[in-house]
Amino acid sequence: VLTLTEYLVESTLENMSNVHDNSHSYILSEEDAGRISALIVGAISSCSESGAGMSPAHDRCAILSYALARILTFSKLQSYCIVLQHNPSTILEIYTQAATLLFDLASWPVFSSQDRYTNLHEAKRGTISIAARSGLSSLFGYLNSFDRSDSFVQSFASKIFSSAPI
């Protein structure tokens, strides 16, 4: 997923800079970027079903977080409105579940030095936490580029920061 996302973004940026080249170049459209981000967020959301403790789903979530960060950074750079083009009532729950899982994973401890980790398990948790922080900060950074009075942004923030369980 990460390699594919990176390829699509990089080839688009390269092809956009070579406007004189009329070969069969691919440019990632706003609609495609929206679909890709929705699929990534849905995949992250499905990782939340793994339960408490570290699981292989959290490894997948870490990789997906980096892919999400990449597509959201690209979309923000291109001024794409990818989140709001989907049915907000349907996608809101998926984004909320994904963000909640990323919050949980991002809260795992990360140390500044590898020797502070007592074992490989702790080091792996630290790596997953860094990836989750990347995805989470990209998600909020992307949503911050919208008007704060937008109903999707308000609903999303309300669900994330409310005290009610999701």
- pLDDT 10s digits, 59-101: 899 999 999 999 999 999 888 888 765 556 677 888 888 999 9
Alpha-carbon dihedral sign for residues 137, 141, 147, 152: negative
Q: Are 1 and 67 in contact (CB under 8 A)?
A: yes
pLDDT over 90 at 135, yes or no: yes
Q: What are phi and psi of 48, to 5 degrees?
A: -70, -15
* Residue 60 tokens, joined: 């997948």
- Residue pLDDT, tens place only, 98-127: 999 999 999 988 877 767 767 777 888 888
Tokens 């999701």: give the residue: 166
Residue 40 CB partners (closer than 8 Å, separation 6+): 1, 5, 64, 67, 68, 71
E-only strand ranges, the chain: none
> Among the ranges 110-114, 137-141, 154-158, which has the highest mean pLDDT value?
137-141
Residue 166 CB partners (closer than 8 Å, separation 6+): 96, 97, 100, 159
